[in-house]
A and B are shown apart, each in its own frame.
Chain A
Amino acid sequence: MSEITSKTIAELRAGLRAGEFSAREIAEAYNAAVAASKLLNAYTVETPEDALAAAEAADKARGQADLPSLAGIPLGIKDLFATRGVDTTAGSNILKGFKPPYESTVTANLRKAGAGMLGKLNMDEFAMGSSNETSAYGPVISPWRRKGSNVGLTPGGSSGGSAAAVAAEIAPGVTGTDTGGSIRQPAAFVGISGIKPTYGRCSRWGIVAFASSLDQAGPMAKTVRDCAILLEAMAGFDPKDSTSLDLPVPQWEKNLSSDLRGKRVGIPREYRIDGVPDDINALWDRGIEWLKDAGATPVEISLPHTKYALPTYYIIAPAEASSNLARYDGVRYGLRETGNDGLDGMYSATREAGFGAEVKRRVMIGTYVLSAGFYDAYFTKAQKVRTLIKQDFANAFKQCDVILTPTAPSAAFGIGETTDPLAMYLNDVFAVPASLAGLPAMSVPGGLDANGLPLGLHLIGNELDEQTVLDAGLAIEERAGFTARPEKWW
């Protein structure tokens, strides 16, 4: 069965149609792999029966001409997506045991495309974190290890369970969400691909909100093609989300092409920053060569407000989060600690017990920057800088078609190694600008560092131009020849 779990979604799809194996075999192979992966702590809930039910439906429908794209493909779902009747907790104690009576639009779309669910994936609490260490379920352990070391590494975050699941082949593909790098940084840490589409491509309805103006769902998978397949199924206009884009979903997979002749690749000079390991800058240079080899022309571009992106993000995201998380008050669902001081006492006791330290920190920051007397200095100014950052990209895309940068300023680090919140926030320094601008961006694996850990390359596209991002990703994938897989220890 290990043969099945090593396949890509495109290969599973083809094999299923060719009758090489049944959907049931696929589901069983993955269910078994999931059941044997407890040490990774990637899944918070396992739903083997769900995967089997979808497989059964797929096997019945096999042979039909209009078999949906993900028929018989079981997926892992980040715990941020509401799944009907299945625990949906956003990695938080405050939602422990919460089973929504509704299904998020994105997962409903995946189910419509025939996908089953293997289970819910661990994540940083409310998607706040870059290492999956803030989860109420404890950290996910990356399947990767440094050469000759047994130190447990983080898979990145916040979609840490999602990343680990694909890398460990306990899911062929997964959903992630990206607010400021939460798909891309973990994808880079574990050597897989992940794309955050243009803001509004995927409905946010039924996804537990972190920062509404930034949150976007996206897929993570072994290959660029798999990401295209998944994203096509996930995306689409949803009248239940006012910020959803009322546009048809392009045929990204069908149009995939690694021929980049005529394309210009922007290399932003502001992304050459101090303290980034040589391995990463070297990989970046190799990435430029690969894209040249695919026919593209590199051009140096400037994104002058890049250095303000991280502080801007850490004002806007917490501000929105402080308001979005106000609903977790112990009144209607989730955890309730009654306390002993009336309604206010219940609020404090519930939120004290229910939220972890990082969530509390961001709620405090967000409350502070929105407060009377500080609002203009922080929130209003951050909104203005955000506009300038968007303008930077708009100007850049007059000179280029896609932008190439490293995904993260480091490879995966050890669990517990990064204790300073600000150092942790720096993980997303390359990812955050595209989030603030609402642009499609992707991480693809480029190679291994000196310790044998994966490094990712980051592609940022113009608004709605996921195609060029995926095409450039494919060009890198074909040339990087990244086939490394973690050695199984779990």
Chain B
Amino acid sequence: MVVMADASAPFRIRGETGDWEVVVGLEVHAQVTASKAKLFSGAATAFGAEPNTQVSLVDAAMPGMLPVPNRECIRQAVRTGMALEAKINRWSRFDRKNYFYADLPQGYQISQLYHPLVGEGEIEVLLDEKDEGSAKRIGIERIHVEQDAGKLMHDQHPTMSYVDLNRCGVALMEIVSRPDMRSPAEAGAYLRKLRAILRYVGSCDGNMEEGSMRADVNVSVRRPGAEFGTRTETKNVNSVRFVMAVVEHEAKRQVELLESGGKVTQETRLYDPDKNVTRSLRSKEDAHDYRYFPDPDLLPLELDDEFLEECRSSLPELPDAKRKRFEDQGITPYNAGVLTAEVETARWFDALLEAGAEPKQAANWVVAELFGALNRRGEAIDKSPVAPEQAAELLALVADGTISGTIAKQVFEIMLESGEGAAAIVEQRGLKQTSDTGAIDAEIDKVLEANADKVAEYKSGKQQLFGFFVGQTMKAMQGKANPQLVNERLRSKLG
């Protein structure tokens, strides 16, 4: 069996009996990290705290304790919905999802089944950053708000399990997509874009390693264009790469099963990243009957105009809008895509523009020079040793001809190391570009004299040696000569 990976063609799994199409829907659980407190209690939510140090009486479901909704969590979920152009339900309600497990002290999870906070929306993803024609819209079915559960620890005691309730009651947004994705790449692009939007909005830090974002991956296969097949749900997948691997693996597994005369059973599966396989957790027959019903401890959520207006007006410029603005400013689509993919990059770049940098030049410089330097140094852009204002100063020196692009690279290196300003560096080290034709002529004469043989070759037709003379002259002048003048003078001297 071959998986076709040609980006321009629809993704197909080529089976023994023909081609198959994969259908993917994602349920993404995103923690509302913007709220430092839990959904229904005041307990803190910091990652990595000692077990059971962030547990209130409510989280531990002590007798007589009651949940009270945290306004900030609701606000962040509404803002997220707005960012996904989704319908905000002014009236929503919490339901109890009942099941027994040791990490669930209440014996139920407070969630929203019947009346979620956010209804339909959509996300546009680009399958190829360089090609705007590769855009695809992925539908969002709903976003509801719910509590996270605690965590069992099985390695603390030979016969018993321990429970850590720190995560118990943490606010999650469950963002449910339509089954609109048709390849691992689409699933990956959707998840990356969703993560970017969440991070722009600020509702969720998108930190998949720390579990603040994870996905349940629904996969089915069918003959292209046929009815949906039976789907499986692979739970708690915690990276973009793993989500793509799950889609690919599950699709192949299902095709093999179907082609060997078997049937896909509706079931919950788990992904093992070490072996890159999914395995069955429980089938539909063993599925819990969650006995959802409206939580009688909570009143319905009713959102008023003032609240909604604040949510909307506090939204930042989102990736798509920002990207379009950058393109309108003359930045290439590719650079605009790169500069808006991560909120920190976008913020840094916006600050650079605000400090007066010319957009197109600035974009090229950030993508080529700054990214290169940060990569080399292993630093994130929001921790960049060169601030946007400093970079703007450097770019201004290039733009007005004070220094050449070559010297600019040198100055930038010094800035990275010393933290000094570009103008000061140029001044102190005498790196200003010179347009003194007398000095340039003198150096050219020396170069031509020292390379008489090459001059002869050049004159006999080896035109490509011109660059060599330019290089030698620039080198002799430590790069400070105005390159245009050097060219000009060389041409006239070589005749």
Interface code A200-225, partner B: CB below 8 Å = 1, 0 otherwise?
00001111110111000000000000
Given A243-B297, A379-B293: A323 and B108 interface contact (C-beta under 8 Å): yes
Chain B residue at minimal CB-CB distance from A344: B100
The residues in A between 320 and 347 inclusive whose CB is less than 8 angstroms from any CB of B are 320, 322-323, 325-327, 329, 331-333, 343-344, 347
* Residues B66 and A82 in contact, CB atoms below 8 Å apart: no
With beta carbons under 8 angstroms apart, the residue of B65, B105, B106 that contacts A205 is B65
Chain A residues positioned under 8 Å from B161 (CB to CB):
343
Query: Could you tell me the distance between the alpha carbons of A367 and B291 in the complex, rounded to whole angstroms?
Result: 7
Query: Could you tell me the distance between the alpha carbons of A60 and B483 in the complex, rounded to whole angstroms?
Result: 96
* Residues B66 and A242 in contact, CB atoms below 8 Å apart: yes
Query: Could you tell me the distance between the alpha carbons of A344 and B293 in the complex, rounded to whole angstroms?
Result: 23
Interface code A302-328, partner B: CB below 8 Å = 1, 0 otherwise?
000000000000000001101101110
Is B48 an interface position by the 8 A CB rule? Answer: no
Task: Give the shortest distance, in Å, between B455 (CB) and chain A (any CB).
Answer: 89
The residues in B between 87 and 121 inclusive whose CB is less than 8 angstroms from any CB of A are 96, 98, 100-102, 105-108
With beta carbons under 8 angstroms apart, the residue of A104, A243, A347, A370 that contacts B64 is A104
Query: Could you tell me the distance between the alpha carbons of A205 and B293 in the complex, rounded to whole angstroms?
Result: 21
* Residues B66 and A100 in contact, CB atoms below 8 Å apart: no
Is A277 an interface position by the 8 A CB rule? Answer: no
The residues in A between 48 and 68 inclusive whose CB is less than 8 angstroms from any CB of B are none
Given A104-B64, A333-B62: A370 and B98 interface contact (C-beta under 8 Å): yes
With beta carbons under 8 angstroms apart, the residue of B57, B66, B68, B293 that contacts A370 is B293
Chain A residues positioned under 8 Å from B65 (CB to CB):
205-206
* Residues B57 and A326 in contact, CB atoms below 8 Å apart: no
Query: Could you tell me the distance between the alpha carbons of A371 and B102 in the complex, rounded to whole angstroms?
Result: 22
Task: Give the shortest distance, in Å, between B394 (CB) and chain A (any CB).
Answer: 54
Chain B residues positioned under 8 Å from A21 (CB to CB):
none
Is B63 an interface position by the 8 A CB rule? Answer: yes
Query: Could you tell me the distance between the alpha carbons of A375 and B290 in the complex, rounded to whole angstroms?
Result: 11
Query: Could you tell me the distance between the alpha carbons of A92 and B102 in the complex, rounded to whole angstroms?
Result: 21
* Residues B62 and A100 in contact, CB atoms below 8 Å apart: yes
* Residues A332 and B61 in contact, CB atoms below 8 Å apart: yes
* Residues B297 and A332 in contact, CB atoms below 8 Å apart: no
Is B163 an interface position by the 8 A CB rule? Answer: yes
Is A98 an interface position by the 8 A CB rule? Answer: yes
Interface code A103-120, partner B: CB below 8 Å = 1, 0 otherwise?
010000000000000000
Chain A residues positioned under 8 Å from B57 (CB to CB):
101-102
* Residues B64 and A206 in contact, CB atoms below 8 Å apart: yes
Chain B residues positioned under 8 Å from A207 (CB to CB):
64
Is A97 an interface position by the 8 A CB rule? Answer: no
* Residues A327 and B63 in contact, CB atoms below 8 Å apart: yes
Is B133 an interface position by the 8 A CB rule? Answer: no
Given A95-B63, A327-B107, A347-B100: A243 and B291 interface contact (C-beta under 8 Å): no
Is B467 an interface position by the 8 A CB rule? Answer: no
Task: Give the shortest distance, in Å, between A20 (CB) and chain B (any CB).
Answer: 38
With beta carbons under 8 angstroms apart, the residue of A90, A209, A332, A371 that contacts B291 is A371
Is A241 an interface position by the 8 A CB rule? Answer: yes
Q: Which of A88, A101, A332, A375 is most buried by chain B, counting CB atoms within 10 A of its CB?
A: A332
Query: Could you tell me the distance between the alpha carbons of A370 and B288 in the complex, rounded to whole angstroms?
Result: 13
Interface of B is mostly: loop
Chain A residues positioned under 8 Å from B60 (CB to CB):
332
* Residues B108 and A240 in contact, CB atoms below 8 Å apart: no
Chain A residue at minimal CB-CB distance from B298: A242
Task: Give the shortest distance, in Å, between A204 (CB) and chain B (any CB).
Answer: 6
Task: Give the shortest distance, in Å, between A335 (CB) and chain B (any CB).
Answer: 13
* Residues B68 and A323 in contact, CB atoms below 8 Å apart: no
* Residues A370 and B291 in contact, CB atoms below 8 Å apart: yes
Query: Could you tell me the distance between the alpha carbons of A95 and B96 in the complex, rounded to whole angstroms?
Result: 23
Is A377 an interface position by the 8 A CB rule? Answer: no
Interface of A is mostly: loop
Query: Could you tell me the distance between the alpha carbons of A343 and B161 in the complex, rounded to whole angstroms?
Result: 9
Interface code B140-168, partner A: CB below 8 Å = 1, 0 otherwise?
00000000000000000000010100000
Query: Could you tell me the distance between the alpha carbons of A204 and B101 in the complex, rounded to whole angstroms?
Result: 26
* Residues A327 and B105 in contact, CB atoms below 8 Å apart: yes
In the complex, how many residues of chain A place their beta carbon closer than 8 angstroms to a beta carbon of chain B? Answer: 44
Query: Could you tell me the distance between the alpha carbons of A212 and B67 in the complex, rounded to whole angstroms?
Result: 12
Is A239 an interface position by the 8 A CB rule? Answer: yes
Is B296 an interface position by the 8 A CB rule? Answer: yes
Is A422 an interface position by the 8 A CB rule? Answer: no
* Residues B105 and A331 in contact, CB atoms below 8 Å apart: yes
Task: Give the shortest distance, in Å, between B223 (CB) and chain A (any CB).
Answer: 32
Chain A residues positioned under 8 Å from B439 (CB to CB):
none
Chain A residue at minimal CB-CB distance from B98: A323
Query: Could you tell me the distance between the alpha carbons of A82 and B69 in the complex, rounded to whole angstroms?
Result: 22
Chain B residues positioned under 8 Å from A211 (CB to CB):
296
* Residues B299 and A243 in contact, CB atoms below 8 Å apart: yes
Is B209 an interface position by the 8 A CB rule? Answer: no
With beta carbons under 8 angstroms apart, the residue of B64, B98, B100, B105 that contacts A209 is B64
Is A372 an interface position by the 8 A CB rule? Answer: yes
The residues in B between 23 and 76 inclusive whose CB is less than 8 angstroms from any CB of A are 57, 60-69
Chain A residues positioned under 8 Å from B68 (CB to CB):
239-242
Query: Could you tell me the distance between the alpha carbons of A32 and B103 in the complex, rounded to whole angstroms?
Result: 47
Task: Give the shortest distance, in Å, between B483 (CB) and chain A (any CB).
Answer: 71
With beta carbons under 8 angstroms apart, the residue of A81, A95, A329 that contacts B107 is A329
* Residues A323 and B96 in contact, CB atoms below 8 Å apart: yes
Task: Give the shortest distance, in Å, between A227 (CB) and chain B (any CB).
Answer: 23
Task: Give the shortest distance, in Å, between A120 (CB) and chain B (any CB).
Answer: 14
Query: Could you tell me the distance between the alpha carbons of A360 and B245 in the complex, rounded to whole angstroms?
Result: 47
* Residues B64 and A205 in contact, CB atoms below 8 Å apart: yes
Chain B residues positioned under 8 Å from A375 (CB to CB):
291-293
Interface code B269-300, partner A: CB below 8 Å = 1, 0 otherwise?
00000000000000000000101110011110
Chain B residues positioned under 8 Å from A102 (CB to CB):
57, 62
* Residues B63 and A90 in contact, CB atoms below 8 Å apart: yes
Chain A residues positioned under 8 Å from B67 (CB to CB):
242
Interface residues of A (CB under 8 A from B): 81-82, 88, 90, 95, 98, 100-102, 104, 204-209, 211-213, 239-243, 319-320, 322-323, 325-327, 329, 331-333, 343-344, 347, 367, 370-372, 375, 379
- Give me 5 other A-B pairs in contact (C-beta within 8 A), A344-B100, A372-B291 excluded: A82-B63, A104-B64, A206-B65, A370-B292, A375-B291
Q: Can you list 17 contacts pairing A with B, beta carbon distance less than 8 Å?
A: A100-B63, A102-B57, A102-B62, A204-B66, A205-B65, A207-B64, A242-B299, A243-B298, A323-B291, A326-B107, A329-B100, A331-B102, A331-B163, A333-B63, A343-B101, A367-B291, A379-B293
Give the 6 A-B residue pairs with the shortest CB-CB distance, closest first. Answer: A326-B107, A370-B291, A213-B296, A212-B296, A327-B61, A206-B64
